[in-house]
Amino acid sequence: MSIKTEVEMKLKQQGNQSENRGRLLVKCPDKPGIVSMLSTFLLNHDSNIIESSQYSNDPEKGNFFIRMEFYCENLKEKSAQMESDFEEIATNHSMDYHFSYESERKRTAIFVSKEPHCLMELLWEWQNGDLDTDIVVVVSNHEDARVMVESLGIPFHYIPANKDIRKKVEEEQIRLMEEYSVDLLILARYMQILTPDFVNHFQHRIINIHHSFLPAFIGARPYERAYDRGVKLIGATSHYVTNNLDEGPIIEQDIERVDHRDDVIDLKKIGSRIERRVLAKAVKWHLENRIIVEGNKTIVFH
């Protein structure tokens, strides 16, 4: 059995299990009774709550955030009416909200340059069925990953990129994202700066990964300079991309301790290991609708 066939079988099994599962994310001014109101709404629509997480940043004058996962028989047939009925509640209580359904899988594009470790981790998680998405295309400014990607039946597009042709490159990339109906873009060590025009096309839908030394050791050769400085911690940060370079809402971070025995090669290996797991977690949480963006911060319901 081919790898592609195995993946397709796993996706079919997951689809059968998830067709009646939905999620509701809500942000609104905090006040008593919100949880009761939402629970009653789901009860009245024959839905059973199977997971619920909530948070208030100030119980008197703050905002309230909640994620509810629910099960409802024949959800596909009922979802439109459910959303229509919820509009009045949302209006009356100044709610920002979003319904999503496990049966509607997001379509993902991965951007990569020469370093393949984050791409490989995402492909492995996807093959295992641990990333609830369809990886529909990989875009790179190098050819290095082509064989790996195409062996899994995923289209690979090589688009050379540099600052002198950035506008033309991004026009082609946007065209591709529209062609493949992409919902989420993952920068898996894609070593190019994105312009505001590109970022604005995909607000809160681009996830990036980089080392956590910032704002120290900004620019090229961060590990070499970190080694010269004698750092004791190596880390990685995954965040949504905004027009403030590497300063978008942080989704996940992690670290490992290092010491004087670790040379530059060791530091890079440790950093790559952390980057892989941090990016995979951030992507998974986005796909599972566990993130609410609040200003330049995130509420993440693990």
Q: What is the pLDDT of residues 50-61, one digit of tens each?
A: 999 999 999 888
Query: Rounded to whole angstroms, how far apart are CA atoms 133 and 32?
Result: 36
Tokens of residue 27, six digits: 């942000």
pLDDT tops 80 at residue 192: yes
Q: Per the residue annotation, which of 30, 46, 144, 246 is the catalytic one?
A: 246
Average pLDDT over residues 148-171: 95
* pLDDT for res 4: 57
CB 238 within 8 A of CB 207: yes
Average pLDDT over residues 34-39: 98
Query: Rounded to whole angstroms, how far apart are CA atoms 293 and 125?
Result: 25
Q: Categorize the per-residue pLDDT at 16 as very low, low, confident or very high, splitting at 50, 70 and 90.
A: low
* pLDDT for res 235: 95
Which SS3 state, helix, strand or coil, does residue 33 take? coil
pLDDT tops 70 at residue 12: no
Q: Categorize the per-residue pLDDT at 246 as very low, low, confident or very high, splitting at 50, 70 and 90.
A: confident
Q: Categorize the per-residue pLDDT at 8 as very low, low, confident or very high, splitting at 50, 70 and 90.
A: low
Q: E strand or H helix at 70, and its extent?
A: strand 63-72
First to last CA, the chain: 35
Average pLDDT over residues 231-237: 95
At 88, which amino acid appears? E
Q: What pairs with residue 255 in β-bridges?
A: 235
Q: Tell me the pLDDT tens digit for each residue of 119-132.
A: 999 999 999 999 99
Percent of the chain with pLDDT over 70: 94
Among 136, 72, 73, residue whose Cα is nearest residue 109: 136
Q: Using CA atoms in the order 187, 188, 189, 191, what is the torsion angle rounded to 10 degrees? A: -30
Q: Categorize the per-residue pLDDT at 9 as very low, low, confident or very high, splitting at 50, 70 and 90.
A: low
Enumerate residues 6+ apart whose C-beta is below 8 A from 268: 223
C-alpha distances out from residue 142 to 24, 38, 153, Å: 40, 49, 19
Average pLDDT over residues 149-166: 95
* Degrees, nearest 5: CA angle 268-272-276: 175
Average pLDDT over residues 214-223: 84
pLDDT tops 80 at residue 114: yes
* pLDDT for res 163: 85
Q: Tell me the pLDDT tens digit for each residue of 64-109.
A: 999 999 999 999 999 999 999 999 999 999 999 999 999 999 999 9
Q: Is 246 a catalytic residue?
A: yes
* pLDDT for res 10: 57
